[in-house]
Every structure is written in C-alpha cells, then in structure tokens.
Amino acid sequence: MAGIVAYGAYIPWLRLERKRIAEAWGIPGAPGEIAVGNFDEDSVTMAVEAGRDCILDEPEGVGGIYFASTSPPYAEKSCATIAASVLDLSPGSVTADFSLSLSSGVSALVAAAAAVDQGIAPSMLVTAAECRLPEPKTADEQTFGDGAGAVLVGNEGAIAEIKGVYSSYDEMVATWRFPEDRTVRDNSRFYVAKGYVPALLSAFKGAAEKFGVSPDEIAKVVYPAPDFRAHGQVAKALKLKPEQVQDAMFAFVGGCGCAQPLMMLVGALEEAKPGDKILLAGAGDSFTVLLLEVTDAIESLPPRRGIKGHIGSKGNLPSYAKMLEYKDLLKTEEGDAVSSMILMWRDRKSVLPLYGKKCNACETVYFPPRRVCPNCFAREENEDRRLARKGKLFNFIDDNLYISPEPPTTLTISDLDDGARIFLQMTDRNVGDVEIDMPVELTFRKIHDGGGFHNYFWKTRPVR
C-alpha cells in the first residue's frame, strides 16, 4: 500500500490568549492561547501554506491534490482547484474536495492512498485546513483554533508506510451547521460521553484486532478530540503511557477540526524514528484508524517548518474584539472593492502560481508579465517564469488612508532571489519592525471580496 512521502503544516502567525476571551464575557478562562487566522486568511490560503511546506514549493511529480475542510470559503465551488493552481500542479492533476465531517481529513488521506495504489496518480497531496467560527460566549471560543496540515502520499521513498486501514461509523448529531449558519453548533457534552469516547475506543479495538498489534508495539497514538478533557479520557481508557500520546496542541493552537489529525501526525513524524509504529485516527461521524510504520527514509527527509517551525513564530492579538473583526463577526468600515471575473480568468497564471516573464535577450526577470522587456525593450523575446518565493525588502511605506482591518497597510517593493522586483502588500508583521533590506518571503492571501467572489493574490511577510 502507498505511504507518506513528505509532510508539512501551517499555523497562523496570530495568537489570542484565552484570558482575553474570558475577560470580554466575564467568565472563567482556560490557560494558553489559540491560533487565529489573520483577516486575509481562510482555509484555502492555509491549505496552500501547508502544501508548500510539504512539497517545498517543488510541484514536479505531484499528481493531484485533495482538499479537506468543514469551513471552505465557497459553499459551491472547488477549493482544491484553487490550491492546485497556486501550487502550480500540472493541468492533468487529480483534484477533489472533502467536506461536511470532522473526519474528512483522514478520509482524504485514505482516498489518496487508494488513488496512488490504483495508478490514478503517481502521488497525491492531501491538505486539510480549518477556520471554524464558534458561537460567541461558548466553550468553543476558547477551544477552536485555525491551522492546516498536509502529507504527500506515494509509493516511492515513503517515510511512513501505511500497513492497514480500519473504518467504522456512528450516527449522532455532534457538531453541525445548516446552510444559513456561519457559526458551528454542537452537542459536545452528550456527544463526548455517548458518541466520541465509546465510538473511538471501539474503532481502536477493531483496528488492533485487524492489524494484530498490541499497545506496547505502538510508539505514538494520534487522534483528535473535541477538547483537552475528552482527549485525556481516551488516553486513560486505552491505558496509554504519556509518551505514547501525541500532543493534541490544545494549549497553544486549539482544536483545528478536520485538520487536527494531520497536524498531529506531522508533530509525531517530526519526532519519529525508523521502525516506529504510529496509529492515526480520524474522528467525527466516521472513525478511521491507520497503522503507519516509519522507514529509514525519514532520516534523509529535507527539513521543513512543520509544527515545530511554526509554533514559536507568533504575534499576539491585542483583544477579543480584534479577533471578531478578523473573523468578520464584527462589522467595521469597509472599502469599496471591485473585481472582474473575466480579468481574473485571463490573468490566472500570473495571479495564482505567480508567473512573470524572463527576457531571453538580457535575462531580466520581471513582473507583471508584458510583451516588452522593461530593461532592454526587446519585444516578444521572453518566456514564462515562476517567481521566487523569497527575497529582500527594497523599500516600503505605511499607508494610513487605505481602509483595512489592520491599519496601516504596509506597501512593499521587494527584490526576489531570481532578480524580479515586485510590489505587494505586507502581512503578519509588527509595523515598527519593518526595515529596508530585511529578508522577506511571499505568502498567498485573500486580498478582498469583489465582484461577488473571493479575490486572492500574494503578499510579503517577514521570514517566519
């Protein structure tokens, strides 16, 4: 069976201390913080970031992408195709969206392994991302976090082989949204006691019998949970040793919905050694358990940010109200945003995977793409060139007049590593820390909503 070839993750730069939420409502607060997507982030942009971390911005050989989320920005439109375009996968790639259930992330992983085994694609990138909106003044506000995980599934060079899959289901209304809802409804207390705990324990028991493994043979058990307490209840019931239980990241990230199992798996693989056996479970309306065995190839896997690289890179939101504004739950002043679907379609190659031009006469790389070289003025002597993702800040200005949830808007001119010079907004920064010649990297973000659809493009940010 196919295995995991590489992994990646993404945790937003912004965090909100739980005590800020508690102070706003005058209720008890839990310790720690939650990861909060910036105002220009959604589940698609986070999935792209995790996917980039997984494949290290090298799309060669990736045969497709599966995108999983219960909080996609579109109710009817593929988000997997957006991610595939940004990651510059070939037009013949397989794409599909998985949604509706908190188990969809692991379900996408199983489907990707089947696609590779059946020869549908040589490898499949699986991304899961969440930006779930909780009901205000509920425990979910202090539990939900934003983030994304990604794994590349293939047959060659697997760092963790999939040795078996076990699935079951249990029909119960646990978390749900109607089409008109923005925030998540839940029945968590009853669901944990009568649904989640017994159903997950039953799935682990069935998996152990099918795989023929004992608890002592397992190095890490990776499973999501509605909250920290429920996660501990399962560990206690399984009689797991503390070192066998993978951290669910509730303390400093929060529960990331269908992305949580993949993010936790990334955390487990970051510490894994050849020969380790890992049990990975998805939990929601269905319960799927995978047995993974780590191979020697993990020792030669190139480094990536993963969970470790993102967890310590952060900036703090000053207030609970600011989080509501970023989540568009608190209406503030909005600018007039217009867009053309025809122009977006025409320029999609330069907007999404960020292609410029390279002049064949003087070798200047430039953006935006045009027919005449801005350096030597050669006409029609150029070729498409995907721009570098890192560079150095050439100049910047802070614009206090541009209407934005995060004033001032920092406008930048950056010199990329390939020689191209590009004008972009900056995000994920402290205003006073921006300096000329500082290293920057590009990140894919939402620019605005205009023309009745989401408009995406690239921004710069200080290197995380």
The enclosing domain of 147 has a CATH number of 3.40.47.10
**Greatest CA span in the chain, whole angstroms?**
72
- Look at residues 247, 239, 248 and name the one whose alpha carbon lies nearest to residue 216: 239
pLDDT at 462: 98
pLDDT for 188:
81
Judge whether 331 lies within some domain. Answer: no
| Structure tokens given for 40 | 């220009």
* One-letter-per-residue 3-state SS of 46-67: HHHHHHHHHHCCCCCCCCEEEE
Residues 314 and 436 in one domain: no
**Is there a domain that residue 335 lies in?**
no
Last residue of a domain, one of 273, 299, 326: 326
**The total number of structural domains that make up the chain:** 2
Q: Is residue 33 part of a domain?
A: yes
pTM over 0.75: yes
* Same domain as 369, residue 271: no
DSSP alpha helix (H) spans, 160-250? 188-191, 197-211, 228-237
Q: Degrees (nearest 5) of the Cα angle 111, 198, 212?
A: 60
* Same domain? 256 vs 386: no
Q: Could you give the CA distance from residue 89 to residue 58 in angstroms, rounded to a whole number?
A: 9
Q: In what order do the strands lie in the sheet with 355-359?
A: 365-366, 355-359, 382-386
For residue 333, is it within any domain?
A: no
Residues 234, 96 within the same domain: yes
Domain range enclosing 446 = 341-462
Residues 283 and 345 in one domain: no
- Of 114, 162, 160, residue with least CA distance to 5: 160
pLDDT value at position 3?
97
Written as six digits, the tokens of 415 are: 């010199």
pLDDT in tens, 1-51: 899 999 999 999 999 999 999 999 998 888 999 999 999 999 999 999 999
Strand, coil or helix: 462: strand
Residue type, 99: S
- Alpha-carbon distance of 2 to 407, in angstroms, equals 48
Residues 458 and 317 occupy one common structural domain: no
Is the residue at 214 inside a domain?
yes
Last residue within a domain, chosen from 298, 326, 354:
326
Residues 6+ apart with CB under 8 A from 421: 366, 367, 394, 413, 414, 415
Give the pLDDT of residue 450.
87
pLDDT of amino acid 331: 75
Which ranges in 32-178 belong to alpha helices (H)?
Answer: 43-55, 80-86, 104-117
48 and 152 housed in the same domain: yes
pLDDT tens for residues 187-208? 888 889 999 999 999 999 999 9
Q: Rounded to whole angstroms, how far apart are CA atoms 75 and 94?
A: 20
Q: 393 and 299 in one domain?
A: no
Residues 89, 188 within the same domain? yes
Phi, psi of 420 (to 5 degrees): -70, 145
Confidence (pLDDT) at 328: 87
Asked if the bond preceding 242 is cis, omega within 30° of 0, the reply is no
Task: Please identify, among 301, 326, 351, the residue that sits at the C-terminal boundary of a domain.
Answer: 326
Residues 310 and 387 in one domain: no
Phi-psi region of 289 (alpha: psi -120 to 50; beta: other; left: phi over 0): beta
Positions in the chain short of pLDDT 70? 333-335
Tokens of 239: 């009689």
- Quick one: 280 and 405 in the same domain? no
3-state secondary structure of 178: coil
Beta bridge partners of 397: 411
Residues 301 and 357 in one domain: no
Give a yes or no: residue 73 inside a domain.
yes
Give the three-class secondary structure for 308: helix
Token code pair at residue 64: 């497709």
Residue 76 has a pLDDT of 95
Backbone angles phi and psi of 339, in degrees to 5: -160, 165
Q: Does residue 332 lie within any of the structural domains?
A: no
Residue 336 inside a domain? The answer is: no
